[in-house]
Chain A
Amino acid sequence: MILPLLPLSHIFLGLAAIAWKATARSALIAALLVDIGLLAVALSPASHWLTSAAAGGWTDAIGITLALDSLALDFLLLTVLLELAVVIYLWRQRLRPTFVILLQFLVGSVMALVLSQDLFNIYVILELLTLVSFLLVAYDRRTFQIWASLKYLVLASVGMSVFLLGVAMVYANVGSLGFAEIGRTIAGDPHARWIPLAAALLVTGVSVKAGILTFSLWLPDAHSAAPAAISAFLSGLVIKTGVVVLIRLADVFPLSSVFQILGAITGIGGVIYAMSSKDLKRMLAFHTLSQIGYLLVGMGVADHGAAKGVLAYALAHGSFKALLFLGAGAAHDVVGSTEIAHLIRERHRIPLRTRAALLLGTLAIVGLPPFDGYIAKAPLLAAAHGWGSQIVLVLLGIGTAASFAKLLPLFRGPYRRVGNDPAWKSYVILALPIVLFLPIERALFGVAFTRPVMNWFIAVESVAVVVVGWLVHRIHRQFKAHPSENLFRLEPGMFSILLGFVAIYLLLKLA
């Protein structure tokens, strides 16, 4: 029964810190050490006793099961990595203890989510994540933050109600909430009439949380309004907990065609908005959408290699997106704005290490070899057979490169050392996996999986995509028209959730 300790240590240490406020920061370090210790045990070969735990000794049909499979392990590594980087980033800022406590709850609930194998547990933890990130987004109490997080809360709560309806449908027909039992029932009768409706309800509910267009219209505002360290966490990790749930749902429900379509819409929509976005943090928020699109297209390819590729890409995306957000936050602290034109104008005032971090993040996200964006993307590209997914992946790559080409002038000279850069230690933590991703990937997924990385065709394709993206940027700059931002208000967000539900239901029903 070691496994539940992983999330619970965070929750308990957080609760203890509520009582003794002065210890909040030490409690965070203690929880981090517990995580690293438990993960080290989990990664050691003699750890089969750690892989699964059922509360109270019930069977998996009734009991609440936690399991440490490769999906959970991948995301636990990402959690610890981001936690380490964000804690170091925030260490000098002397934050109020409440902030640190909320951060503990956030980390604990992410860990609980990736471990849980039970639909209702997932519902409760997703709601917990909503509440905690709602408080963290609006922590500085600026009005635009309050408004962004209120929109997030309302839309996410409606989404979770839809999810609860789906949970009820499943329970009514299966009589259990564990994924193992649900899978057995569906395998026994794959054409039962309740399956499309339940699957559509569950997918709609999770999509609201997972940053999928057109369900997550709250995302650009919430992620760009939050403090930088929180944005790094939300965008690198919390948003992907929705993807974890979708992967778990895809194990039992037939969802691959839905994922392909949603992935294409999410990715291309995110890229179009990112290309015309003038603010760095907002552009990064839109790129959260585009990268979720990547993951979804990969999940839609029913292939074992692609499934591993999705996990690898989720890990890689967490590292470089967090690096970009932390860099954007450090730049904002110096020049007072994250508008790209302003950053470029004031680039001589931004510390060199921050600019280097932004450059590294940019190179990784556009997928240039030898950084982790490319190393994680290559197996996904190799596994994505079928023209549709290939075209979408290439278009997403071009769009990503086209929008990040806006940042290029930021990296021109002068290169003078200005001020000190307290955040550089967290850059190093995040840069390590970006540069050394190949050994990590080999250790996690096996040597055979990383073979496409050495494929010349894929390497040339990735570079060509970036070059084409740069050309697209040159052309796109001439146009003044921008897509409307009115879409990201409360009522359209509400409406599109319902519309999206109907669309998914019809898709599943007719398939």
Chain B
Amino acid sequence: MAWLNGTTIAMILFAIGTTALIARRDLVIKLLALGLVNSSGILFLISIRFRPQMAVPILPAPAGIPIADPLPQALVLSAIVINFAILALSLVFIMLLVERYHSTDCGRIEHAVEAEKATLESQNLAGSAPESEAQEATQ
């Protein structure tokens, strides 16, 4: 099982996440999948310069043992915060959509949004000149 290290697990998580993002229609599940994709990036960054039996990068450094690279761990902190912000914000927006349409189905929301936009436009156009004049004006 030596191949099952952080890097390969990150790859598997990334694949699962993107598949779910494409294949599942439910927005909340899509959001979970997005979280999975983001975590796979974090896991990859953490594990790429790490080997087993490395020492913790805290001073004073133990002699004779290689020390894990501290920089990726510092970087990952910012990545985690960013991903948290993205998930939280998109959850708020999904809640706004759900309140409006009472559905988390991506296709249904998409259709409803498009229909609403079309009626909005036709409302704006109503009351102005008839269609034939518009044709004339375009020419």
The interface of chain A, by Cβ under 8 A from chain B, is: 120, 123-124, 127-128, 130-131, 134-135, 138, 141, 143-144, 146-147, 149-150, 153-154, 157-158, 161-162, 164-165, 167-169, 171-172, 336-337, 339-342, 344-346, 406, 409, 477, 489-491, 494-495, 498
Contacts and interface: CB of A to CB of B under 8 A. Distances in A.
B72 A168 contact: yes
Contact of B44 (A153, A164, A336, A345): A164
Given A147-B109, A171-B72, A344 B41 contact: no
B116 A143 contact: yes
Contact of A157 (B34, B110, B112, B137): B34
Given A154-B34, A344-B137, 6 more contacts: A143-B113, A144-B113, A144-B116, A168-B45, A171-B71, A494-B21
A91 B40 CA distance: 44
A134 B89 CA distance: 9
Contacts of B18: 158, 494, 498
Nearest to B87: A157
Given A168-B48, A346-B128, A341 B134 contact: yes
A170 to B, nearest CB: 10
B65 to A, nearest CB: 19
B97 interface: yes
Given A339-B125, A342-B124, A490-B106, A143 B97 contact: yes
Interface in B107-139: 109-110, 112-114, 116-117, 121, 124-125, 128-129, 133-134, 137-139
Given A135-B89, A149-B93, A168-B72, A341 B137 contact: yes
B137 A345 contact: yes
Contacts of B133: 345
Given A144-B113, A489-B110, A150 B90 contact: yes
A13 to B, nearest CB: 21
B53 interface: no
Chain B contact residues, majority secondary structure: helix
B86 interface: yes
B38 A157 contact: yes
Contacts of A138: 93
Nearest to B27: A150
A172 B110 CA distance: 41
B26 to A, nearest CB: 12
Nearest to B116: A143
Interface in B76-114: 78-79, 82-83, 85-86, 89-90, 93-94, 96-97, 100, 106, 109-110, 112-114
18 contacts: A120-B78, A123-B79, A128-B82, A130-B86, A131-B89, A138-B93, A146-B93, A149-B93, A157-B38, A168-B44, A168-B45, A168-B72, A336-B124, A344-B137, A345-B133, A345-B134, A406-B138, A491-B22
Given A147-B109, A344-B137, A161 B86 contact: no
A158 B121 CA distance: 32
Interface of B: 10, 14, 18, 21-22, 30-31, 34, 37-38, 40-42, 44-45, 48-49, 71-72, 75, 78-79, 82-83, 85-86, 89-90, 93-94, 96-97, 100, 106, 109-110, 112-114, 116-117, 121, 124-125, 128-129, 133-134, 137-139
A491 B86 CA distance: 19
Contacts of A337: 121, 124-125
B85 A131 contact: yes
Contacts of A168: 41, 44-45, 48, 72
B41 A165 contact: yes
A164 B45 contact: yes
A490 B26 CA distance: 12
Contacts of B124: 336-337, 339, 342
B20 to A, nearest CB: 10
A161 B10 CA distance: 11
B75 A158 contact: no
Contacts of B34: 154, 157-158
Contacts of A128: 82
B48 A161 contact: no
A490 B110 contact: yes
A404 B26 CA distance: 39
Contacts of A158: 18, 21, 34, 37
Instruction: Give me the 4 closest cross-chain CB pairs, A-B, nearest first.
Output: A164-B41, A337-B124, A161-B41, A168-B45
Contacts of A409: 137-139
Nearest to A347: B137
Contacts of A157: 34, 37-38, 83, 86
A161 B72 contact: no
Most-contacted residue by chain A among B40, B82, B129 (CB, 10 A): B82
Contacts of A340: 138
A127 B139 CA distance: 45
A154 B90 contact: yes
Contact of B37 (A120, A127, A161): A161
A315 to B, nearest CB: 30
A339 B123 CA distance: 12
Contacts of A495: 22
